[in-house]
Structure 1
């Protein structure tokens, strides 16, 4: 308001030889808010004319202009609406009633007080003041003007008072500074009269009410605080009045300045002591205890404290502009005591979170050594290995070797347990986020520090003193204060993350997704804020744990040992990868850090491929082809079902390996079921390859028709079926039940057998044409053999 007042004086009233003594920002009551200013002015030449001028901004908004003027002598009544309650509305009765709504009650009261003083000083006709507090209607008329106020001649001279020696010296000093003081005494007197008018009226005149507020105003009640705010602003305006050269040497000016300085220092001490006591009391507050927030895992809210303290925000700004050292001292005190309060609350909060993560029983708390919420795990390794979450029905998984990354096997915790952990971790972050944001917002507002770099720096503060601290420095101050107040958060978060990782290394997946989301949210609000920086630091730890989890799984694959006495089946780390992928796809469905998972997938699947081949090569009980066929079939099925796009190439590769090793196993296992017949026809094919014509092969002694009939008779249908039954039993021993590939393999063997049978028939037809020689069994017989054998088992 001070800046506006100066601008109006300079641009509108000084060119018209008027002085602006009172101003209020108003809009018409009951209508759309089109703000303007009502100004109380006096002329600088006698006879003095007192006016109320309505000023508003031009349509373009680049300058102010007079819109309407009323003579104060035409004012008949001022109605403040309510003398006991705060009310920004008031009426001015001129030729008609003008109803106004002030921007604040304080501005309205100050303007009405100014009108009352002008009325008392200059007008013969008294104005009626209705519903106005008696405190506003203070007698402020100088003793020398009592006749004028009482209705005497306005041009009558004040009673003569002899100058003191000091005043004479002041006058002489001023005359020396004025070139025409001696040559044109009349002009000097006129100039002196105009300049001294700055001391008249309200510029360097602080009301008794303001003085009382500064000296003894109540700093605990809303009314008392508002009175102190108004008084402190009025004091600052008085102290910042621009004096002409030489005015500062006048005794009256010096006395006022000394009074103002004394009032400023007195009020600064009172304000500092009061707020110090508030901070100390809050820092020692023991009302927020662990038991109050155990059930729902919540942090105490500080909104009531912030709301109460924000009533002092304008006073803190005043202190910042007038007593920087006291302002900075209060800042240090606030940080010191609030850091103690937050440290207690945060440690208690994290203790509850750890107990809930480890189990809700007292015995779980004891096992983990959660003493004084230090976050240190003092329990033994065996305690961790025996840990169970209350009420959960844990299941054993074949993937224990893959999942047992930490001290606790993740296979001992089912999906419900992991979901419970996820909810607890999310609750922790969801409680911390608004707590930090609310505190940062409060610090910025209460200590008048910049929050957002996009907000332009104001030209000057409410008290008229330009801000001396650049925005970036103030943002750094906010961050430094936040770091001290919440110095325990990062430590406690890392401790909680460590516990979650020990309970189940797969928890790092949940933590990576949750922490990434909260970091992303915080960075969108303010990338340089305390919350964003702290969560970003903790995210590094979470990502490191995630990478450690992946590396641990790969190490477990490399350490996989197989039994020499039992068949291999589906390897534990292959099942483990499937469970990992299922869990990860659920957790990372809409996560910001999907790229981290895709990189981990590629590392894991390559390790799975490599170690399946390693185990297959080392297997003694189970054929290599079976190990490869079954495990790559499982991998292909998993990747096809989950549709992980970054592993499309690996899915195709797994299918290729599966089909190759299936074919290889079928051929090697089936071998030559009709061995003598196979050897016979191999000889036939060898003769043809040497140049013997096919129709002449039957003339070869070793391969004549008689020899062919002899070999065929050795393979009647009964013997063929018996051989196939033994083959089925052999395959059954090789294959595992989990993958259910027995029928697939058996059907492939049937196809291979039929292929060989047709090959033999083809050779007989080409090399022994018209002989009438046929096999002892038909293809239909073969199909019945394969079918009945499969059904019998």
Structure 2
């Protein structure tokens, strides 16, 4: 290895100004025959570059050549494979991973140690060493052999040690050394003589420094003498300053006396100013003008000007009472007297205001008797905008009362709710009575059954309404549908116009109730100042209020928020709305259960609208509760229809035709699609569709199985064809799968009916060829069937003679009549079935003729009629009927 190192250093690295520091003999993993050397080198010039060089012998083996070189800074990882066991394998991770196998583990460890040392010395980015023992990384690489270039230090060890003591010269030191070497000509040729000359010059310089120090002693003595003179001058100046200080002491005493006198004068002036400020504060903030006092005592609460004066006076009084007094003010007699005056004015005005508003509320509840005579034609509710407009003038006074006298404010709220509840109850009751009259019929017809009164009061019973509804609808166009026959009255007598009328009336009722409730809720919030959640601090007037009153006010308002108070008031005022709505819904459902579809759509829309305005409002809550009832009626309507399907009985003497609940489903779907075209509750209808169509399918099959007069396939074919046509026409997306199923069932049962019916015109021929096919199936060759006794040519001719053309046509004619009896006229499937039978008959003919050709070859036997004859038979029979 030493000879190799000398050769590599001499031939490859010295010409490139590089030094060889580490070497290892390796081969690639899996290719042990091709050996090469990995060399760790550094450049002799600065900046130092560290490389890993791959060296390989030439093909002739005479010299070495440099093959690949990698920069050490590109090395990311060294993997020694195993830190505990001897293993010659190791990996170097450059841009790609190079896997090597060293000739010995010792060479591998020496090379890895050299790489680690070079990495620690020259690179900022540290290479990751994996599976390498820590002991190996702590030791420097051991020198094996000296560099062949004649250097005194080893490649891997000595040279690295010399690098530890090396200290780089700075630029100035290099310049000085170069200058000295230029002066001395033999500095390079004779280094020892140059060093001796430098030592002698250093001794001369040291002597000069000593002489210079000794020559400066005289100057030091002169400097010490000057310092002594300066100290004497300082002592003189200190004596003069002491005399000046004694002179100023007397002046200081006189100034202190003057300053004390000035402080006393300033303190007196400050006290006078503060006293004046306190008096101004009390006069300015605790004095109520005579005009305000007159307004609070005798102000007119009926006129706009008087109300405005009372508002200004009450606000001024509240400001005076809420003044934040400074410590000690409450002990002044004048302040106590003012507080007593303010309390008396507050209580007196609160009583006047409460009595006046109580009278207004009572008058409104008793005097405004709302009759719906003028509103009966258009079915509208009286508007309370004038009352709200007049009362809102007192809103600020109500806010003042809420802050100062909570008991009286609470009493006014109770009085308002009591009398307005009476007023609204009369109006709403009359409004709903008129709505019911309009739903069931004209007023003349209503009077016959106890529907009379100037206000449209309904005195008759529910059964009277039912009788009236039946009478008024008997004159209209009748629609026969067992699906609509529900309740105590026959809804089948109600046409589309009846339902449209009901829909308009129900929408009108909801449209009138919605603005009425919103207007009243808005008024209550503004008039009673319930927009924000009150706090206990907002009701404390001043420190002189009775503590029990303040505590009671805080306790009451901490119990509920303003929204809850508004909702509680609305519930009491409009407590009859939910009851009347439920009664109206019950009446509509009694008249026609299909009304629940209209009501579900309308009610859902109004609930959605109310929730967008205020999800927690009275209107939203009430309509939501009523919507639950409407949804329940809708579900009951669907359940009733399903129950009616299950109870359908089919006459044994007549043909079935299109089942009544199938046409009923069609009518229901047509109506529902019209009603739910743009409704928010489309999902409810889709769920109902799925339930209904499943029940329809189940009961169609049930009736088909029980049918005696009409074949099962005919019942299934006709009804599923009708269902398929209905679903295709209406294009109900949620029933697309059911539409395909209906088509499939219709097609299957059409084919089954055609096949079963066609066995009758050529019954014996069918039996004969079935026997032929059975023999073939048993293993008899087709050409040998004719040798079977029961299926020889003579038997075949005998069977064919029984079916001449005239007989076939006669049989087909009888078949047409039988099919005509089976099928109903409403579905118009006769021609479809007849055409399918024609195709099936031709297929059978071709099948029979094919069997003859294969099983009786060369016999010349043919049917007595041709395909053209068959087409003519079917056509003439269809035209003759």
Q: Which residue of 2 aligns with 1:568?
A: 656
Q: Which residue of 2 aligns with 1:303?
A: 385
Shift of the alpha carbon at 1:755?
1.0
Deviates more, 1:467-476 or 1:310-319: 467-476
Instruction: Indicate conservation of the 8 Å contact 1:355/1:365, yes or no.
Output: no
Are 2:878 and 1:790 equivalent residues in the alignment?
Answer: yes
Are 2:703 and 1:622 equivalent residues in the alignment?
Answer: no
Q: Secondary structure at the match of 1:673?
A: coil
Gaps of 5+ in 1: 1-179
Shift of the alpha carbon at 1:553?
0.6
Q: Which residue of 1 aligns with 2:86?
A: none
Are 2:280 and 1:197 equivalent residues in the alignment?
Answer: yes
Q: Which residue of 1 aligns with 2:738?
A: 650
Q: Secondary structure at the match of 1:565?
A: coil
Are 2:632 and 1:544 equivalent residues in the alignment?
Answer: yes
Are 2:564 and 1:485 equivalent residues in the alignment?
Answer: no
Q: Which residue of 2 aligns with 1:503?
A: 591
- In structure 2, relative to structure 1, the CA distance for the partners of 1:505 and 1:382 (3 Å cut) is closer
Instruction: Indicate conservation of the 8 Å contact 1:601/1:647, yes or no.
Output: yes
Q: Distance in 2 between matches of 1:482 and 1:592?
A: 27
Q: Distance in 1 between matches of 2:779 and 2:720?
A: 45
Shift of the alpha carbon at 1:683?
3.2
Q: Secondary structure at the match of 1:786?
A: helix
- In structure 2, relative to structure 1, the CA distance for the partners of 1:230 and 1:571 (3 Å cut) is same
Q: Distance in 1 between matches of 2:468 and 2:483?
A: 18
Q: Distance in 2 between matches of 1:614 and 1:352?
A: 47
Q: Which residue of 2 aligns with 1:386?
A: 470
Instruction: Indicate conservation of the 8 Å contact 1:513/1:587, yes or no.
Output: yes
Shift of the alpha carbon at 1:244?
2.3
Instruction: Indicate conservation of the 8 Å contact 1:367/1:379, yes or no.
Output: no
Q: Which residue of 2 aligns with 1:15?
A: none
Q: Which residue of 1 aligns with 2:522?
A: 441
Map 1:747-766 onto structure 2 (within 5 A): 747-766=835-854
Q: Which residue of 1 aligns with 2:780?
A: 692
Query: How many residues of Structure 1 are paired with residues of Structure 2 in the alignment?
Result: 606
- In structure 2, relative to structure 1, the CA distance for the partners of 1:339 and 1:209 (3 Å cut) is same
Are 2:502 and 1:421 equivalent residues in the alignment?
Answer: yes
Shift of the alpha carbon at 1:562?
0.9
Instruction: Indicate conservation of the 8 Å contact 1:404/1:410, yes or no.
Output: yes
Q: Which residue of 1 aligns with 2:351?
A: 269
Shift of the alpha carbon at 1:309?
0.5
Deviates more, 1:347-356 or 1:698-707: 698-707
Are 2:729 and 1:676 equivalent residues in the alignment?
Answer: no
Shift of the alpha carbon at 1:388?
2.7
Instruction: Indicate conservation of the 8 Å contact 2:499/2:595, yes or no.
Output: yes
Instruction: Indicate conservation of the 8 Å contact 2:440/2:469, yes or no.
Output: no
Q: Which of 718, 724, 735 does residue 812 from structure 2 map onto? A: 724
Q: Which of 342, 349, 359 does residue 431 from structure 2 map onto? A: 349
Map 1:329-408 onto structure 2 (within 5 A): 329-364=411-446, 366-367=448-449, 373=457, 377-379=461-463, 383=467, 386-389=470-473, 394-399=476-481, 401-408=482-489
Write out per-residue CA displacement over residues 150-171 of structure 1, whole angstroms, 9 at most, x where no aligned residue: xxxxxxxxxxxxxxxxxxxxxx
- In structure 2, relative to structure 1, the CA distance for the partners of 1:717 and 1:287 (3 Å cut) is same
Shift of the alpha carbon at 1:363?
2.1
Q: TM-score, normalised by structure 2?
A: 0.65
- Which structure has the highest helix share of the two? 2
CA RMSD of aligned residues (A): 2.8
Shift of the alpha carbon at 1:694?
2.4
Q: Secondary structure at the match of 1:769?
A: coil
Q: Distance in 1 between matches of 2:741 and 2:450?
A: 46
Q: Distance in 1 between matches of 2:687 and 2:377?
A: 39
Q: Which has the higher contact order (CA 8 A, sep 6+)?
A: 1
Instruction: Indicate conservation of the 8 Å contact 1:512/1:542, yes or no.
Output: yes
Q: Distance in 2 between matches of 1:369 and 1:600?
A: 37
Instruction: Indicate conservation of the 8 Å contact 2:450/2:458, yes or no.
Output: no
Write out per-residue CA displacement over residues 705-744 of structure 1, whole angstroms, 9 at most, x where no aligned residue: 3433333222221111111111111111111111111111
Instruction: Indicate conservation of the 8 Å contact 1:408/1:503, yes or no.
Output: yes
Write out per-residue CA displacement over residues 45-65 of structure 1, whole angstroms, 9 at most, x where no aligned residue: xxxxxxxxxxxxxxxxxxxxx
Q: Which residue of 1 aligns with 2:54?
A: none
Q: Which residue of 1 aligns with 2:316?
A: 234
Instruction: Indicate conservation of the 8 Å contact 1:666/1:745, yes or no.
Output: yes
Q: Distance in 1 between matches of 2:656 and 2:304?
A: 80
- In structure 2, relative to structure 1, the CA distance for the partners of 1:515 and 1:464 (3 Å cut) is farther
Q: Distance in 2 between matches of 1:404 and 1:445?
A: 51
Shift of the alpha carbon at 1:506?
0.4
- In structure 2, relative to structure 1, the CA distance for the partners of 1:439 and 1:464 (3 Å cut) is farther
Instruction: Indicate conservation of the 8 Å contact 1:387/1:408, yes or no.
Output: no
Q: Distance in 1 between matches of 2:574 and 2:496?
A: 34
Shift of the alpha carbon at 1:262?
1.8
Instruction: Indicate conservation of the 8 Å contact 1:687/1:697, yes or no.
Output: yes
Q: Secondary structure at the match of 2:572?
A: helix
Q: Which residue of 2 aligns with 1:324?
A: 406
Q: Which of 528, 532, 541 does residue 620 from structure 2 map onto? A: 532
Shift of the alpha carbon at 1:666?
1.2
Write out per-residue CA displacement over residues 564-592 of structure 1, whole angstroms, 9 at most, x where no aligned residue: 11111111011111111111111112211
Q: Secondary structure at the match of 1:658?
A: helix
Q: Secondary structure at the match of 2:651?
A: coil
Q: Secondary structure at the match of 1:488?
A: helix
Q: TM-score, normalised by structure 1?
A: 0.72
